[in-house]
Structure 1
């Protein structure tokens, strides 16, 4: 039986090979008939978040963050685009609050739903290391570098690793350069999948 477009976005390995989304998230996207391109995007950002948290755990074991929360947040950060599909192809922020509310309505805790609302607000008061990691994954997956976002994370890394800020900068810069090398292939994977749901 042929896979529909959403199932392909959720299951094709990709190049580079992308990790599958958490089962709970994949089921939710299927129930909500998410646009295939959104599923592909969430997989790319989730995979990059995996790379970031794996790196942080190896190099900054004292860094205070919640691995599960970061990965869930990366996997759901743009889920509000199901309700605002126009924001899949042009800028917009209506999906942020909508995504948060959608997750809450589906029984997701505030602790995990907040990433849908906060992923573009890294300068807001009270933003945690978890939030910074999700925001960074949402930028670096396509090779985009955002200096003020990275600087906030560098401060967290330097404090956790008892380093000078320039040392944390060098470490973070190195891993982001490495992740960004696959940006064009991740973008191509996303573009392979249609914006509209349904069979193709």
Structure 2
């Protein structure tokens, strides 16, 4: 997922230089967003959200700032009033690495792109859709690699 986040932030930096976001925070969030699954290992292969707060709490207990630890808790909830561009980008990477398209999330990202660029929503949607399509094309290989390391426990 970190590699996918890197592709997204590289693209955003190149194509939307006016988009104000903390690249390092997004990459940290991508790397640690599922840390709580070490506690709730059943959520490695089944749905669940208990890992979100567990991951955030674990990061905080090890001295990670709340600004960075938040991604463990926000990567699946992008509609809260205090969600940032960084949160949206981590959430987007989390979905698209497995080629899951979530219209509501993508629309929120498009809105941020429109605000930053002054372009039209349609143009920004098309550009983002093209990027996500290219990244999503590699999902089968990523999922196959992940499945080659079965979860036991």
Which TM-score band (shorter chain)? Answer: over 0.9
CA distance in 2, matches of 1:100, 1:195: 22
CA distance in 2, matches of 1:146, 1:57: 22
Residue 119 of structure 2 corresponds to which residue in structure 1? 163
Choose 1 or 2 for highest CA Rg.
Answer: 1
1:183 paired residue among 123, 133, 139: 139
Query: Displacement, 1:89?
Result: 1.3
Residue 91 of structure 2 corresponds to which residue in structure 1? 135
Residue 105 of structure 2 corresponds to which residue in structure 1? 149
Query: Displacement, 1:194?
Result: 2.9
CA distance in 2, matches of 1:196, 1:112: 30
Q: Which runs of 5+ in 1 are unaligned?
A: 1-44
Matching of residue 126 in structure 1 with residue 79 in structure 2: no
CA distance in 1, matches of 2:42, 2:62: 22
1:90 paired residue among 35, 39, 46: 46
Computed over aligned residues only, the root mean square deviation of the Cα atoms, in angstroms, reads 0.9
Residue 70 of structure 1 corresponds to which residue in structure 2? 26
TM-score (norm 2): 0.98
TM-score (norm 1): 0.75
